[in-house]
Each structure stands twice: as structure tokens, then as C-alpha cells.
Amino acid sequence: MQDSPADPTKSPLFDQIKGSTPLLLHVPHAGTVVPDSLRAALKPEALDLSDTDWHMDRIARDLLPDGASLMSARVTRYAVDLNRPSDDTPLYTGATTGLVSTIDFDGRPLYRPGAEPDEAERGSRIADFWTPYHKALTDEIERIRTVHGYCVMLDVHSIRSHVPRLFEGRLPDLNLGTNSGAACAQSLSDAALAALEESDFSVVRDGRFKGGYITRHYGQPSRNVHALQIEIAQAGYMLEETPWTYLPERADRLKEALARLVSVMAEFQPDMEH
């Protein structure tokens, strides 16, 4: 009997389900694997991995429609940030963190004194983690596009609802990013926003989080690749401090809202005439 196209596969860098529809859910920041060399260099408090998109891989898997594809990173973003360009060009004008960041979202040092990564270490991490990961993501998008003529990707993220260094006040619950409309068809962006607005969560489009490197780089409607980012305030589904506990009742309510978004994306059919 042939393997099902939705059989899960695993690499040291990511978990993956290769599906049979145009939809791909992608989770780049939920990884909690800390390579041994990084573990030795990080400050003890940094090993709490506070900037992780906690439980987003679980939520994405729960939302995955029949036949859709899923790819989620396994390695922590403290090794290398997969949602930054490999040349570390800043994506936002305000405070942020980098490709191989030496600080966390709150600006606190991640590394023991003298253990910060040098240029050689940064290069090794790009070669060992970033480059093969993005090759695999590129291959999956192209596989889907080749089979169906187009690919629709939802890049799934979460963050603490209050991070004063990164944004003022409380973040809206659901933050849809389309790179100011450049990463997907306008009809898909509008339908996605309308789907989220059916919930009683607060929603914004292209606010503080317009989409990172993944949305901006891979979202190319002219090539029939349509990408959206969703940045979720973690208060909507979990405890926002260690031990970062998943709260099922809150999460179930959140997943109801996200399921409408995923459904709209699964049903989307682009204009293929150009």
C-alpha cells in the first residue's frame, strides 16, 4: 500500500505533513529544541525560552483541514530566527530582535558574558539551520504550486500580549499581516479579515505586525503563492509566564475563530489568468 500523502515526516529541524490540497500552515517559532552548544552559552534564565510561540504547533495541527500541509520548526528561535532574512536586514523601523539575536524581546541579554556568538558562529547557524530549513520550505511551496497551480500559506505566530519594548499597551488579540497587501490577493486578505471579525476577539490588519520575512519573501501573488501571517496575543490561549501553560477553555474559543480563517484560506481560488 502506498504511503498516504499526509503521513507525517520528521527531520532534526522541523516536523512536516505533506498534504494534497493547496493550503499550507507554517509555524516557524514554536520550536523548543536547544542545541547543546547553545544551551551551554545561554544564561540560565534564557533557557526559559520566553520568546517562543508557545503551543502554536499544537494549535496549527488541531486546525489543519483534511489534506492540508503543515510545517513547524523544532529548533528554538534563539539559535537562529527563521523569520528574518539571512543578511539580517531589519524588517521593522522600531525595536526588534535579529537573525541571531543576543537579546530577548525585553532587551535582556541571552548569553553568558563572553559567550555571545561571533561571526563564525553566526555563519555556522545560518548554514546549519536557516539555509536547510528555507530550502525545505521552498521545496514544499513549490511542490504544492506545481501540483495545484497555486499555494496558500498561513504563517502562524504568537507573542505575549504586553511587550513594552516592541509595542505600546496591549496587543490586539488577532493581528493579520499581508505585507500591506503585497503578499496575497486583495480578495483573500479581505475575506480573511472578515472571517476573523466574525469573532469577538479584537482584530487588526497590517498593524504592528505586517508579516515577517516568510510572509514578505514567499508571498508572491504574481507567482500564485499567497501568504498571510497571523500574530496571536498569547493571553487568548495560555498563561503568559513560566511555565507557559496551555489553557484548553481559552484555546478552544480561539480555535473557533482561527478555524474560520483557515476555512476561508482553504476555499480560496486565485485568478490564474495572469
Residues 6 or more apart whose CB falls under 8 angstroms from that of 64 comprise 17, 19, 25, 70, 262
Listed in sequence order, the residues at least 6 apart from 11 whose beta carbon sits closer than 8 Å to its beta carbon are 74, 136
Name the average pLDDT for the chain.
94
Classify each residue of 188-207 as buried b or exposed e, where b means 16 or more C-beta atoms within 10 Å of its C-beta: bbebbbebbbebebebbbbe
> Distance (Å, rounded) from C-alpha 201 to C-alpha 196?
8
Q: pTM for this structure?
A: 0.94
pLDDT one-digit tens code per residue, 54-73 = 999 999 999 999 999 999 99
8 A C-beta contact, residue 17 and residue 70: yes
pLDDT value at residue 9: 66
Task: Give the pLDDT confidence score for residue 8 in this predicted structure.
Answer: 65
Q: What letter would DSSP give residue 246? A: B
Q: What percent helix, strand, coil does the chain show, rounded to 5?
A: 35, 20, 45
Domain positions in the chain are 8-267
Quote the Cα angle for 248-251-253, to 5°.
Answer: 115
Tell how strand 69-73 and strand 23-27 pair up: parallel
Residue recorded with cell 499526509: 6
Per-residue pLDDT in tens (0 to 9) along the chain, 274 residues:
233 445 566 689 999 999 999 999 999 999 999 999 999 999 999 999 999 999 999 999 999 999 999 999 999 999 999 999 999 887 776 778 899 999 999 999 999 999 999 999 999 999 999 999 999 999 999 999 999 999 999 999 999 999 999 999 999 999 999 999 999 999 999 999 999 999 999 999 999 999 999 999 999 999 999 999 999 999 999 999 999 999 999 999 999 999 999 999 999 999 875 4
- Would you list the DSSP string of 116-133? S--HHHHHHHIIIIIHHH
* pLDDT for the residue numbered 2: 34
Sequence letter at residue 242 = T
Per-residue exposure over 246-255, b if at least 16 CB sit within 10 Å of its own CB, e if not: ebeeebeebe
CATH superfamily, domain 8-267, is: Zn-dependent exopeptidases (3.40.630.40)
Task: Please name the helix (run of DSSP H) or strand (run of DSSP E) that holds residue 177, with its range, or none.
Answer: strand 174-177
Distances (CA, A) of 116 to 10, 12, 87: 30, 24, 18
* pLDDT score, position 7: 54
